[in-house]
A and B are shown apart, each in its own frame.
Chain A
Amino acid sequence: GAVVSQHPSWVICKSGTSVKIECRSLDFQATTMFWYRQFPKQSLMLMATSNEGSKATYEQGVEKDKFLINHASLTLSTLTVTSAHPEDSSFYICSARPLAGASYNEQFFGPGTRLTVL
């Protein structure tokens, strides 16, 4: 149980285009999902917290107009990188916190999406 999927697993795009990444909780409902970014050989950096049906809360220094987050249902959150540039190339990981049946703030992580912007 508690499986989180991400799609796509990797994507290559041209500079200036937008890319959408999906995060799904497959066997549980999640009121809250989190988006992280990870640079090579570094730890995870929280980008934003996404609550179903409301606006995402962005961490300091993260541009909300560049990284659009939508959490339209209890099983799906999307991250759209708008007008992507090479410096946006990174590994993006989402996590989901179950609505019930888990420890406080126990999060289950997706497999990640590798974004490369040419």
Chain B
Amino acid sequence: KQEVTQIPAALSVPEGENLVLNCSFTDSAIYNLQWFRQDPGKGLTSLLLIQSSQREQTSGRLNASLDKSSGRSTLYIAASQPGDSATYLCAVVIQGAQKLVFGQGTRLTINP
């Protein structure tokens, strides 16, 4: 059974810092991995999607990496801003299945 773990559960940093969020999964047989952002009481916004054959994806100040063999992904946020405060979720699609398996999320707070 695929399990997705995110560390840390919560993170608080000063504005301007670069930071890394971690995601690990137990079964390396995945199709892709997605990072999402969720603001309180809102739905999910897709940030980055990495196919299993890819190593990383970049969008603006965000960079996500994938090491499928070790079952790990990281989301790097450069020059953090208060507007980056949200819960960040990673999710994987298992090979042969349709559904996303989510981690518990990292609640990020950027302090002005």
Binding site for B on A (CB under 8 A): 4, 6, 32, 34, 41-44, 46, 49, 91, 93, 95, 97, 103-112, 114
Chain B's interface: helix, strand, loop or mixed, by majority? strand
Query: By the criterion CB–CB under 8 Å, are B100 and A105 in contact?
Result: yes
Contact of B43 among A97, A104, A109 (CB under 8 A): A109
| Cross-chain pairs A/B with CB under 8 angstroms, 20 sampled | A6-B43, A34-B100, A42-B104, A43-B89, A43-B103, A43-B105, A44-B44, A44-B100, A46-B99, A95-B100, A104-B51, A105-B31, A106-B32, A106-B34, A106-B49, A107-B100, A109-B36, A109-B43, A109-B44, A109-B46
Nearest-neighbour CB distance to chain B for A25, whole angstroms, equals: 13
Q: Could you say which residues of chain B place their CB within 8 Å of the CB of A43?
A: 89, 102-105
Q: Is B41 on the interface with A (CB-CB < 8 A)? A: yes
Instruction: Decide if A112 touches B89 in the complex (CB within 8 Å).
Output: no
Q: Please list the residues of chain B having a beta carbon within 8 angstroms of any beta carbon in chain A.
A: 31-32, 34, 36, 41-46, 49, 51, 89, 93, 98-100, 102-105, 107
A31 smallest CB distance to B (angstroms): 10
> Which residue of B is nearest A103, CB measured?
B49
Nearest to A102 among chain B residues (CB) is B49
| Contacting residue for A110 out of B43, B46, B100, B102, CB 8 A | B43
- Tell me which of B36, B89, B98 has the highest count of chain A C-beta atoms within 10 A of its own C-beta: B98
